Amino acid sequence: MAGTDPRLRVTLLAESNGYALARRGPVLVFVDRSTQLTAAVGFVTSLLALMLTANALAQLGLLLLGSPRSTASGVVAFLATAALFGVGAWRLRGLLAQRSALPLEDIQALALVDLEDQTLLDADGALLSPLPAVTISRRWQLTGPSLVARWPGGSRTLASGSLIGPLGPIEAALRGEGLL
C-alpha cells in the first residue's frame, strides 16, 4: 500500500544527532532514532582507546630507551586495555549503524505537523494544537540545544542536539517549510 500511494511514502528531509525530520505527503514527521547515548558512549570509548594506545606506545618507547619507569607488563596492560576499548567502540559503531538503518516508518513518531490541516498532532494523530498557535524555537539545556514546539497549554521537544551533534540540518528543513 505504501509503495502504491505516493502520499504515504516517507521522504527524509533532514537528520541530525539521531533525530530525523521526514515528510509523508502533507505531514511532517519528527522521529527519534534513539542513537544519542550510543553515539556519545562510542565517542568516549574511541577516545579512551586512542589515549591508551598512545600511552602504550610512549611506554614502549621508554622501555626501548632503557627507562626504569617502564616495564613490558605495563606496555602489555595498556595495549590490552586499549584493544578492549577499541573492540567496544567497534561494536557500538555497529549498533549505531543498525539503529540508523531502521526505516523511519518502523519508528514511533515524536510529533506530526499536518501542513494541509494546519495542526500539530501527537504520534497517534491526536490534536495537540492548531498550527497557528504553535511556535517552534530553540531551547538550550546542559547537553546542547533542543527544538521545542510550544502552544498555549503545552510543549513538546521535537529534537535535541548535543555538543557534538548540532541541529542545523533539521532547523534548515523547518525554515524551508516556513515553520522556523
| Nearest to 42, CA basis, from 126, 164, 137, 177 | 164
Compute φ and ψ for 35, nearest 5 degrees: -115, 0
Q: Work out the pLDDT band at 1, boundaries 50, 70, 90.
A: very low
Q: How far apart are CA 171 and CA 169, in angstroms?
A: 5
Q: Work out the pLDDT band at 3, boundaries 50, 70, 90.
A: very low
- Residue 57 CA to its chain's centroid (Å): 33
Q: How far apart are CA 138 and CA 159, in angstroms?
A: 10
CA angle 180, 149, 2 (to 5 degrees): 85
What digits encode the pLDDT tens for the residues 45-81? 889 889 988 988 888 888 888 888 888 888 888 888 8
* 8-state DSSP, 6: G
What digits encode the pLDDT tens for the residues 124-161? 889 999 999 999 998 887 777 889 999 999 999 898 88
